[in-house]
Amino acid sequence: MDYRVHRYRSACGRLDLAARDYPGAGPQAPVLLMMHGLTRNSADFEPLAAKLAGRYRMIVPDQRGRGLSQWDPDPAQYRPDVYAQDMLALLDDVGIARAGLVGTSMGGLMAMVMNALRPGLAKAVVLNDIGPVLDSAGLARIQGYVGPSGGMADWTEAAARTRAINGSAFPDYGSADWTAFARRIAHENPDGTISFAYDPAIAKSVVGDDPQTVPPDLWPLWDLLDAVPVLVVRGALSDLLGAATMQEMARRHTGSYAGVEVPRVGHAPILDEPAALAAIEAFLKEHVT
């Protein structure tokens, strides 16, 4: 798929950040801002972007410390409120006042923060396997793999490492799926070795019982989305977004709300799964025009 890499400055002005900009069908195409999870990057949305190509202008950033974006020398800045400010700076830089927000995991937290910081920005929000309560089992699993991991000799090893981390979330994946997954979340170094495409220092944002990457009480942020159309996607095997939390989200949201569970997928769906894709396409067609 064709896209251009847009370079811009972080909200703090210290970092050079990057975002993929996929063109829509003309200058009036509706805009989606698609935000990845903790250890992912803009390539994480390649499968979904391929399905939505031509219908939307899709802006898909690498958050600071990921992909083509500069690493932050201060790891304390790796947290959703800072990322959200970066996203507002990005939208201002490209002249976009309103957009549909799609957020996977940490990206969904960012979408909630952005809505609080700039009411009226979001035409609609898709939250991928994230909500106001993060289950402890999922947090512990994430804490167990994020951080320094050493280089990998080749893409075969990278695929095996990717499967070791994510295998429980995608029990039906085969070898080709794991290789494709690895190529989205890792990159090749000048010496030919492979590394995951994120700053290992982001691990400092998820350590302990009160990780800084998770705001202490997210229900007020969820309640602020009441006037915004929301679609919640949950992996049926998710260890981070519980079914009970999703039910409570639906109960508390008195506006336009939709929810879908993706069978035999954990945290977090890739969003090209048939159940997820059908729900997303219908939701965006109705609310992001």
Q: How confident is the model at residue 146 (pLDDT cuts 50, 70, 90)?
A: confident
User: Is the Cα dihedral 238, 242, 245, 247 positive or negative?
Assistant: positive
- Give the sheet arrangement for strand 99-104, strand by strand: 4-9, 16-22, 57-62, 31-35, 99-104, 122-128, 230-235, 257-262
Tell me the per-residue pLDDT of 20-68, one tens digit each, with 9 for 90 and over.
999 988 888 999 999 999 999 999 999 999 999 999 999 999 999 999 9
Cα–Cα distance list, 159 to 41, 117, 132, 154, 163 (Å): 17, 39, 32, 9, 6
Tell me the per-residue pLDDT of 222-236, one tens digit each, with 9 for 90 and over.
999 999 999 999 999
What is the residue whose two structure tokens read 């220092």?
201
Cβ contacts of 186 within 8 Å, gap of 6 or more: 152, 158, 162, 194, 195, 196, 197
pLDDT score, position 26: 82
Pull the structure tokens for residue 198. Answer: 């994120």
pLDDT score, position 97: 97
Cα–Cα distance list, 213 to 139, 154, 233 (Å): 11, 31, 21
Cβ contacts of 265 within 8 Å, gap of 6 or more: 169, 170, 235, 236, 237, 273
pLDDT score, position 132: 96
Omega before 203 within 30 of 0, i.e. cis: no
Q: Which domains does the chain have, with CATH numbers?
A: 4-146+213-287 (3.40.50.1820)
Q: Which helix (DSSP H) or strand (DSSP E) does residue 182 occupy?
A: helix 175-185
Contact 90, 61 (CB under 8 A): yes
Residue 24, amino acid: G
Pull the structure tokens for residue 244. Answer: 């009970």
Tell me the per-residue pLDDT of 121-131, one tens digit each, with 9 for 90 and over.
999 999 999 99
pLDDT score, position 25: 82
The bridge status of strand 186-188 relative to strand 194-196 is: antiparallel
| Long-range contacts of residues 279-282, Cβ cutoff 8 Å, at least 24 apart | 279/231, 279/233, 280/48, 280/102, 280/126, 280/231, 280/233, 281/51, 281/52
What is the residue whose two structure tokens read 């492979």?
194
Tell me the per-residue pLDDT of 234-261, one tens digit each, with 9 for 90 and over.
999 999 999 999 999 999 999 999 999 9
